[in-house]
Amino acid sequence: MPGILDRERIIAPAGFNRWLVPPAALAIHLSIGMAYGFSVFWLPLSHAIGITDPAPDDWKISTLGWMFTLFFVFLGSSAALFGHWLERAGPRKAGVVAACCWGGGFFVSALGVYVHQIWLLWLGSGVIGGCGLGLGYISPVSTLIKWFPDKRGMATGMAIMGFGGGAMIGSPLADILMKHFATPHSVGVWETFVTLGAIYFVAMMCGAFGYRLPAEHWRPAGFNSPASAEQRGMITSRHVHVHGVFRIPQFWLLFVVLWMNVSAGIGVIGMASPMLQEVFGGTLIHLPAALKDLGTNERAQVATMGAGFAALLSLFNIAGRIFWASLSDYIGRKTTYYVFFVLGFVLYCLVPFAGRTGSVPLFVGLFCMILTMYGGGFATIPAYIADLFGTRYVGAIHGRILLAWSAAGILGPVLVNYLREYQVKHGVPVGQAYNTTMYVLAGLLVIGLIANALVKPIAPERFMSEAQLVSERRPAEAR
């Protein structure tokens, strides 16, 4: 008999309701989505020793920001490395491993805060947690595409919308927990890490055991062949083998498309909470003072608003994943990415204007719109892959393209953190230190626009023959 975690054990029986699968994916993605909310920890951790006053041994925010970079470096790397294994082992086994890595990473990070060793935070949340992010992220994608062949964009939106919403729940929860655990001798972060690690481990295990896979030739009632869609656009009914994708130009074009879209978005989302606080300072609570001139109580109020801002962005991140991915079923994936890059360019260029005019509503509105397209880019790329490369290895190919996320995890935060630090060091006011960065990030979108324009249908000789498909299926059926 197959083991409880084996792929064969989770094949759904006839009559299984496919709508029971998305909640399992949501449980895992809401948990790992807290990666987006880690900026809520930066300011407390930056005075973990001094508590109320800066201390020489306190960590810099730019140093802490490397944990955010490591998240996405190891997310993309683990997704690329283990994507093919996931297709063979099944999403349940991958989900259990992801739960152990993500929850365990919080525990290691808690130890790092307690003994004040930054390398333990990088190892715990960055490396171990990043591997959990990768496996947890891709585990539902190919599963839901198989369950919803009639609605690929909507399916991928459902599969990963929870990742965008994790911070919406996690950031306010973390803020509440830090205040609860804070003492005159602790900012309450290590205790919060332990609590969140336990919560997320349980939630992810529940999600992993909720996964089911359809039988090999299952199709939903009333499903029609995508032949008409194939005639209208770049949607294939054939399949490219995962081992051959690195030799196909379209793979690298999609890589650049995702890399530029994510680099621009991740560059600001990782610093969303500090950015709002530093740009507007006391005006957020109706006091005409910079952040550095506020008292302890006033700073705490501003920090709470920063956490709320991160949570609001997560809400729009979720909405964008469902909205744009579902819309792409009607207007096409390529057109959807054209919208992301052109409209995104305009919005990024308007952010400095919002800061100069002191308009908090405009600033917040711009970022909310940017985050819908950032989330929409993630949700639409798996369907884009399935359209071009077929569905047989969509999970594995998606995992390899997520290496672009790893590259973005380096490029985006480094641009924001170090350009900001450079400008502040050379006398630029803290509230204006992000302006040049926004224009640089807008330039990245132009590169993505060009790459998207170059995407064409894949040449017929790149696809697997019927004999190759039969040969590939045979080992799976034999198991």
- What does the pLDDT profile of the chain (479 residues) look like in tens digits? 458 888 888 888 888 898 899 899 889 999 998 987 887 888 888 887 877 776 777 888 778 878 877 887 888 889 888 888 887 888 899 999 999 999 999 999 999 999 989 899 999 989 999 999 999 988 888 788 888 887 888 888 877 788 877 877 888 899 899 988 988 888 889 999 999 999 999 999 999 999 998 887 788 877 665 544 444 446 887 888 888 899 999 999 999 999 999 999 887 776 777 777 777 776 777 677 666 667 777 777 777 777 778 778 878 888 998 899 999 988 989 999 999 999 999 999 998 888 788 788 898 899 999 999 998 998 899 989 988 998 778 888 988 998 887 788 778 877 777 777 787 787 777 667 778 888 889 999 999 999 999 999 998 888 888 777 777 665 444 44
CATH 1.20.1250.20, applies to 7-216+228-478: yes
Q: How far apart are the first and last CA of the chain?
A: 11
Q: Is 52 helix (H, G, I), strand (E, B) or coil?
A: coil
Q: How far apart are CA 112 and CA 122, in angstroms?
A: 9
What is the reported pLDDT for 289? 67
For residue 401, give the amino acid letter.
Answer: I
- Give the torsion sign (CA, 193, 271, 81, 377): positive
pLDDT for residue 420: 74
Task: In whole angstroms, give the CA distance from residue 146 to residue 130.
Answer: 26
Give me the pLDDT at residue 431, please.
Answer: 62
**What pLDDT score was predicted for residue 323?**
93
Residue linked to tokens 């640089």: 440
What's the rounded Cα separation, in Å, for the pair 212 and 234?
Answer: 29
Find the DSSP H helices in 210-332. Answer: 227-232, 249-269, 272-280, 296-331
Integer Cα distance of 254 and 242 in angstroms:
15
Q: Give the whole-angstrom CA distance, residue 56 versus residue 71.
A: 27
Task: Return d(Cα 308, Cα 300) in angstroms, integer.
Answer: 12
Give pLDDT, residue 380.
Answer: 92
Q: Tokens standing for 478?
A: 């034999």
User: What's the chain's length in residues?
Assistant: 479
Report the predicted TM-score, pTM, of the whole model to 2 decimal places: 0.78
pLDDT value at position 259? 94
pLDDT the model gives residue 260: 95
- CA 271 to each of CA 84, 357, 446: distance values in angstroms, whole numbers, following the listed order: 33, 21, 22
Q: What pLDDT, on a 0 to 100 scale, did the predictor assign at position 187?
A: 85
The crossing angle, in degrees rounded to 10, of helices 296-331 and 333-357 is: 150
